[in-house]
Structure 1
Amino acid sequence: MKWKKYTIDTTTAAEDYMSSMLMELGIEGIEIEDNIPLTKADQSEMFIDFLPELPPDEGKSRVSFYIEDDGSDTTDLLIAVKKGLEELRNTVEVGSGEITSSETEDLDWINNWKKYFSSFTIGNILIKPTWEEIQAEDEDKLLIEIDPGISFGTGKHETTQLCIRQLQKYIGDRHPKVLDVGCGSGILSIVALKLGASAVVGTDLDPDCMTSTRENMQVNGLKPELGEFYVGNLIDDAELQNKVGEEEYEIVVANILADVIIPMAPVIPARLKKGGIFITSGIIDFKENEVKEAIESAGLTVLEINHQGEWVNITAQKG
């Protein structure tokens, strides 16, 4: 299989903003190359004897994205990328923004990423890939095993971690029913069940996510009847809204993107019971106020806002 590779010359300061912009355009195959020194946490997750010696970090970065070369015209997408780059210039220094292209073949997207995913903890939760063994020092932690397969979601991204911490906080000793919008690999649904949720309902636009979620539930020893999962767009799919139901959930969690959360906000209150909690992330920091305003306009009260890196969690409540 051939792929078109497009590389943007940019800055390290713009990496997260650039990635968010590309994801909002529906681009998921994103690669970042820079010379930022590895942190001790990064080093502890790498299974190599000697770290590569990098050139000095001059704040430069190359952000690449891949599009399957199936003969279709990519002109409109590239125009949208260039427009997104220019809009980012109002927020962050993006450098030259020059885009170059090349071709590559036979990228094994499903398996190549595995070398970068290793076990990690969030509070008392251990999240580990299915192919790793549990270490002795982690045996007392709450175990979540994940094989993302062909869907997104290892739990390692800042946005997922922000949501997991909020689930830990708001599930507490209750046994809520949880709606997971944009369930991906099912990690947030599985975390919710492991923390004590009575049941979960998940939605996603990608049918592959249904397969990954159910397989990951099985890996984690969770009964199939604890979760219902549907393909569709909760924003404007009336049939899906009926399936999901109204005022059934103590918690709704959505780790998506700001540009999806904003139009979705008006349909969230109808899903929540009185006093229910809306936990959301996937919000790049420069869109924080826009998302907050959309959530408040939908009639929810913002309880707290949390940051990790350049990403934001907003947690709100239905009165």
Structure 2
Amino acid sequence: MRWNKYTINTRTDAEELVCAMLSELGITSVEIDNLIPVPDADRQGGVFEELQPDLPEDDGSSRISFYLEEDEADASEILEKVRQALDDMSTYAQIGEGTITTEISDEADWRDNWKAYFSSFSIGNIFIKPTWEDMPEDKSDMTLVEIDPGVSFGTGKHESTQLVIRQLQKYLQEGDQVLDVGCGSGILSIVALKLGAQHVVGTDIDEDCIASSYDNFAVNHLDKSLGDFYVGNLIDDEALQDKVGKEKYDVVVANILADIIIPMAPALAASMKPGAKLITSGIIDFKEQEVADALIAAGLQVVESNAQGEWRNITACK
């Protein structure tokens, strides 16, 4: 199925007016792209600055997009009505350019174009490949992990994820209980099970990650009973902390961000058995010492730190 994407170039102070006009014409699903700074309370990740995009200064411009099927019988008529409405609107309101640009899209492209950026690779004796690639014959003796990220973060190719996998290969023992904080696609939970973990518990603030993790369990022929996954923020969600449990895990992995690891350090430490290892990553280089200080303040001992590119891993022991 092919679609035409139409983008109206307008102004932020005319967004409500333009959207109301589109709604009157039966177009109720729109995308709005502008440069207005997002308030801290509404940001994904809250005030954690590392999660926020580096946007240019707001210039008052806005782009409002909508889609029509290429072969939709009345698409041309609808588009002409939109153009006429914009012309009329410009006589009594400041709508900026008021122009419309067109982009032809294929539904399959939306789903599949990103796959070009995820190909198979290995870390030590672990071979990680996307579900749509075949297993190379010369890799048949390696431990296979298959991943379909879906809508969740986590192909394993990011430096921060690779740092954790290397530490799991170093420290995880057969039969260990593992906690995966910020589980994403479930890749670290799956790697842990493939390395011999007995059971994993995963948490994430995005419920899509829970479904994605279980989907990837199925892809890797892992029984659903080997993992329990929960939605929530371990920092201050006491109900989640109770579900996760205290002094329960031999290995805890937290591949998130420094500004999340720091306030979460006491909860991470509380979940660990005496002697357990905490493997943190997602730490940008200039935040390394802050994270180390937070882990020490939570009663943990820093065992080692590792670097890959600008990202850092800190492994600590209880």
Larger Rg over CA atoms: 2
Q: Residues 237-295 of structure 1: CA distance to partner in whole angstroms, max 9, x if unpaired?
A: 00000011111100110100111101101111110000011001000101111111111
Return the alpha-carbon distance in structure 1 between the equivalents of residues 253 and 126 of structure 2: 18
Q: Residues 178-237 of structure 1: CA distance to partner in whole angstroms, max 9, x if unpaired?
A: 000000000000000000000000000111111110010011011111100000111100
- Relative distance call for 1:179 and 1:306 in structure 2 (3 A) is same
- Relative distance call for 1:123 and 1:247 in structure 2 (3 A) is same
Shift of 1:136: 1.3
In the TM superposition, what are the counterparts of 1:43-82 in structure 2 within 5 Å? Answer: 70=31, 75-77=36-38
1:17 maps to none
Shift of 1:3: 9.0
Check conservation: 1:282, 1:311, Cα contact below 8 A: yes
Return the alpha-carbon distance in structure 2 between the equivalents of residues 155 and 279 of structure 1: 15
Return the alpha-carbon distance in structure 1 between the equivalents of residues 6 and 187 of structure 2: 31
The SS at the match of 1:269 is helix
Can you give the 5+ residue segments of structure 1 that lack an aligned partner in the other structure?
5-67, 82-86, 89-93
Return the alpha-carbon distance in structure 2 between the equivalents of residues 105 and 139 of structure 1: 47
Check conservation: 2:304, 2:314, Cα contact below 8 A: yes
How many residues align? The count is 244
Return the alpha-carbon distance in structure 1 between the equivalents of residues 240 and 6 of structure 2: 36
Check conservation: 2:179, 2:252, Cα contact below 8 A: yes
The SS at the match of 1:273 is strand
1:199 maps to 199
| Higher mean displacement: 115-124 or 100-109 | 100-109
1:145 maps to 146
2:184 maps to 184
- Relative distance call for 1:240 and 1:73 in structure 2 (3 A) is farther
**Amino acid corresponding to residue 283 of structure 1 in structure 2:** I
The SS at the match of 1:217 is helix
2:308 maps to 308
2:84 maps to none
In the TM superposition, what are the counterparts of 1:115-126 in structure 2 within 5 Å? Answer: 115-126=116-127
The SS at the match of 1:286 is helix
**Amino acid corresponding to residue 224 of structure 1 in structure 2:** K
In the TM superposition, what are the counterparts of 1:92-111 in structure 2 within 5 Å? Answer: 103=63, 110-111=111-112
1:163 maps to 164
Check conservation: 1:3, 1:69, Cα contact below 8 A: no
The SS at the match of 1:77 is coil
1:269 maps to 269
Check conservation: 1:2, 1:69, Cα contact below 8 A: no
1:226 maps to 226
* TM-score (normalised: structure 1): 0.70
1:113 maps to 114
The SS at the match of 1:268 is helix
* TM-score (normalised: structure 2): 0.70
2:137 maps to 136
- Pairwise CA RMSD: 3.1
Return the alpha-carbon distance in structure 1 between the equivalents of residues 6 and 169 of structure 2: 43
- Relative distance call for 1:303 and 1:72 in structure 2 (3 A) is same
**Amino acid corresponding to residue 193 of structure 2 in structure 1:** L
Q: Residues 114-153 of structure 1: CA distance to partner in whole angstroms, max 9, x if unpaired?
A: 1111100001100000000011111111000000001110
**Amino acid corresponding to residue 260 of structure 1 in structure 2:** I
Check conservation: 2:249, 2:271, Cα contact below 8 A: yes
Check conservation: 2:178, 2:197, Cα contact below 8 A: yes
Return the alpha-carbon distance in structure 1 between the equivalents of residues 236 and 260 of structure 2: 12
Shift of 1:105: 6.8
- Relative distance call for 1:222 and 1:269 in structure 2 (3 A) is same
Q: Residues 9-61 of structure 1: CA distance to partner in whole angstroms, max 9, x if unpaired?
A: xxxxxxxxxxxxxxxxxxxxxxxxxxxxxxxxxxxxxxxxxxxxxxxxxxxxx
Percent identical among aligned pairs is: 60
Check conservation: 2:33, 2:62, Cα contact below 8 A: no
The SS at the match of 1:250 is strand
Return the alpha-carbon distance in structure 1 between the equivalents of residues 286 and 166 of structure 2: 22
1:317 maps to 317
| Higher mean displacement: 97-106 or 143-152 | 97-106
Can you give the 5+ residue segments of structure 2 that lack an aligned partner in the other structure?
9-28, 44-48, 68-104
**Amino acid corresponding to residue 312 of structure 2 in structure 1:** V
1:281 maps to 281
2:239 maps to 239
Check conservation: 1:163, 1:281, Cα contact below 8 A: yes
Q: Residues 146-178 of structure 1: CA distance to partner in whole angstroms, max 9, x if unpaired?
A: 000011100000000000000000014x32100
**Amino acid corresponding to residue 38 of structure 2 in structure 1:** L
1:295 maps to 295
- Relative distance call for 1:153 and 1:98 in structure 2 (3 A) is same
